[in-house]
């Protein structure tokens, strides 16, 4: 379909409507209605209130509440919002060194079985006490205070605790339900405690001699 060149000239604004012949004026009127409809359509790709919403968001981000509560909220928002951080190479290297050092501490403290970060050795204490409500550990390593609590997370009656001890020989006992002092039935050695009972003995070899 081809358009009459005079109508095209009118659409280009180079002719007045009155300059068109009568047979083209009716079609020019149709074009006028169509163009008016197009002008009323929203702009493609943007919601009608997009500009208003963007401006509201910008105001929320930049305008701070001067009250203490407002500052606290701003600080919290700052912590949780992801944002790009620019670091100088020197600072980035320092951060990496610190992270590496802290990582080494974690590995030597928890990931390597049996060794603590400060050269002590982790010892696992176990006792089967199905009827116990609580089990604690006391020994010469904690001035005989029953302050190390054993746990039984799967409730099978076997209580355990992992304790970092210096190398050497240590005496200890379990304390059941806060009152009943009991030696470790699985200990390899025992020693009279001087009070009419016997302590269990654990021998911890130095790290370089295990």
Partner 1 sequence: MSDWRWRAIPVCAALVFGAAATAPAQERARPPARLERGLSQETTARLREIIQRAEREGVPPELLQRKVNEGLSKGVRGPRLEQAIEAYARRLVAARRLAGDDVMSDVLVAAAEAAERGVPPDRIRAFLRANPNPHRSVVGLRVFGDLLDAGVPAGEAARGVNASLDRGLRGERLLALSAAVRRRIARGEEPSSALRAEIDGRR
Among 77, 97, 105, 157, binds partner 1 (CB under 8 A): 105
Nearer to partner 1, 20 or 138 (CB): 138
Name the β-bridge partners of 162.
124
Q: Can residue 90 be called a binding residue for partner 1 (CB under 8 A)?
A: no
User: What is the nearest approach in angstroms of partner 1 to the Cβ of residue 159?
Assistant: 19
SS3 181: strand
Calpha distance 28→33 (Å, rounded): 9
206 near partner 1, judged by CB under 8 A: yes
> DSSP per residue over 37-104, as a string?
HHHHSPPTTS-TTHHHHHHHHHHHHH----SHHHHHHHHHHHHHS-------HHHHHHHHHHHHHHHH
Interface residues for partner 1 in 184-203 (CB under 8 A)? 188-189, 191-195, 197, 201-203
Binding mask 19-58 for partner 1 (x = CB under 8 A): ----------------------------------------
32 or 102: CB nearest partner 1: 102
Greatest CA separation found in the chain?
Answer: 129
């Amino acid at each position: 379909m081809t358009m009459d060149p005079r109508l095209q000239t009118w659409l280009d604004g180079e002719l007045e409507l009155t300059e068109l012949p009568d047979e083209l004026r009716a079609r020019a009127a149709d074009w006028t209605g169509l163009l008016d409809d197009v002008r009323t359509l929203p702009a493609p790709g943007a919601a009608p209130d997009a500009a208003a919403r963007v401006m509201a968001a910008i105001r929320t981000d930049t305008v701070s509440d001067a009250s203490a509560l407002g500052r606290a909220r701003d600080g919290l928002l700052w912590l949780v919002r992801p944002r790009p951080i620019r670091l100088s190479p020197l600072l980035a290297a320092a951060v990496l060194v610190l992270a590496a050092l802290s990582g080494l501490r974690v590995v030597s403290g928890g990931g390597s079985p049996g060794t603590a970060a400060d050269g002590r050795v982790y010892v696992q204490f176990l006792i089967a006490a199905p009827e116990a409500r609580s089990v604690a550990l006391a020994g010469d390593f904690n001035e005989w205070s029953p302050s190390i609590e054993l746990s039984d997370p799967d409730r099978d009656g076997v209580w355990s605790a992992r304790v970092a001890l210096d190398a050497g020989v240590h005496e200890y006992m379990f304390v059941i339900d806060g009152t009943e002092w009991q030696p470790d039935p699985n200990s390899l050695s025992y020693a009279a405690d001087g009070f009419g009972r016997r302590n269990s003995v654990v021998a911890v070899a130095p790290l370089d001699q295990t």
